[in-house]
């Protein structure tokens, strides 16, 4: 067993812990809520410990797992949501990092009965960096059933609202890039809620505008959301 992973990945661990702190500072996680994981190698996953406020996590608290969920290194037990993360990394090998949290505005959409507005295009940045955000049916936290409920949408999208629960966002970048996508989505959700409060009809981007954003993604080297080859075009994901 490799017992020097914390030292080997010193920089990544520091980044990981800083993201934990930022989540807590932003109030995207409270109490023991939220968790995240970062695949550093094919069989090495850096993950948050269970039953800790994310703002309290230090470099000595993180846990390393292999792809089967066995602990490679760490003084604490990993998050109870391990089944969810192992499923994500197994079924989406293109994904490097995943973040589950409870940003207040996004979570408002997790309890709204009406149409999921986060599936629609409103802002260029959200369209090109986050994409549509489907709703995953509710299941008991910390269960395999919750992990399995992602199956119908896991291959097509990169962000997901967990019904009556919270948000999951994943990316092929590092954990900091995934955090930035979470913050972008939360800002969009905040704007949507404020716009809805005016009672005036929301204005979506047109199909032509979304099609043209495909050029922006190519310029910036951003891949389409979902597993490689799953989606043919950006506009096809919205219209």
Token pair, residue 197, equals: 């409060």
Q: Is the pLDDT of residue 10 over 50?
A: yes
Contact 167, 106 (CB under 8 A): yes
A 10 A CB-CB count for 230 gives 15
CA angle at residue 110 from 161 to 186, to 5 degrees? 70
pLDDT confidence bin for 3, thresholds 50/70/90: low
Long-range contacts from 191-195, C-beta under 8 angstroms, 24+ separation: 191/122, 191/123, 192/105, 192/117, 192/118, 192/122, 193/105, 193/108
C-alpha to C-alpha distance for 236 and 108, rounded to whole angstroms: 26
Token pair, residue 1, equals: 């067993």
**For residue 83, which phi and psi values (nearest 5 degrees)?**
-55, -35
Average pLDDT over residues 92-105: 98
Token pair, residue 142, equals: 């910390």
Token pair, residue 87, equals: 């499923």
Query: What's the pLDDT tens digit per position in 150-189?
Result: 999 999 999 999 999 999 999 999 999 999 999 999 999 9
Q: Is the pLDDT of residue 2 over 60?
A: no
C-alpha to C-alpha distance for 19 and 176, rounded to whole angstroms: 6
| Domain spans, the chain | 5-238
Helix (H, G, I), strand (E, B) or coil at 64: strand
Residues making up the chain, counted from first to last: 239
Average pLDDT over residues 123-152: 96
Query: What's the pLDDT tens digit per position in 30-76?
Result: 999 999 999 999 999 999 999 999 999 999 999 999 999 999 999 99
- Whose tokens are 């997901």? That residue is 160
**For residue 64, which phi and psi values (nearest 5 degrees)?**
-115, 130
User: What is the pLDDT, as a whole number, of residue 114?
Assistant: 86
**Which CATH number describes the domain made up of 5-238?**
3.40.225.10
Query: In whole numbers, what is the pLDDT of the chain averaged over residues?
Result: 96
Contact 152, 177 (CB under 8 A): no
Q: In 3D, which of 103, 74, 117 has the Cα closest to residue 203?
A: 117
pTM value? Answer: 0.95
String of DSSP letters for 126-149: HHHHT---PEEPP--TTSHHHHHT
C-alpha to C-alpha distance for 202 and 191, rounded to whole angstroms: 11
End-to-end CA distance of the chain: 50
């Amino acid at each position: 067993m490799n017992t020097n992973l914390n030292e080997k990945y010193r920089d990544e661990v520091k980044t990981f812990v800083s993201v934990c702190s930022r989540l807590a500072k932003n109030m995207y996680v409270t109490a023991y809520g939220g968790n995240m994981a970062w695949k550093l190698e094919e069989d090495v996953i850096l993950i948050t410990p269970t039953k800790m406020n994310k703002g309290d996590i230090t470099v000595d608290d993180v846990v390393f797992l292999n792809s089967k969920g066995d602990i490679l290194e760490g003084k604490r037990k990993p998050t109870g949501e391990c089944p969810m993360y192992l499923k994500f990394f197994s079924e989406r090998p293109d994904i490097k990092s995943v973040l589950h949290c409870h940003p207040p505005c996004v979570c408002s959409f997790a309890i709204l009965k009406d149409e999921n507005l986060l599936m629609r295009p409103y802002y260029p940045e959200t369209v090109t960096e986050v994409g549509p955000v489907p709703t995953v049916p509710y299941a008991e936290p910390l269960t395999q059933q919750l992990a399995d409920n992602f199956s119908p949408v896991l291959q097509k999208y990169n962000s997901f609202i967990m019904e009556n629960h919270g948000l999951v966002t994943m990316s092929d970048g590092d954990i900091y890039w995934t955090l930035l996508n979470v913050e972008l989505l939360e800002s969009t959700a905040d704007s949507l809620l404020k716009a809805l409060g005016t009672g005036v009809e929301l204005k979506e981007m047109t199909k032509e505008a979304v099609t043209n954003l495909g050029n922006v993604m190519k310029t910036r080297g951003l891949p389409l959301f979902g597993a490689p080859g799953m989606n043919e075009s950006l506009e096809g994901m919205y219209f």
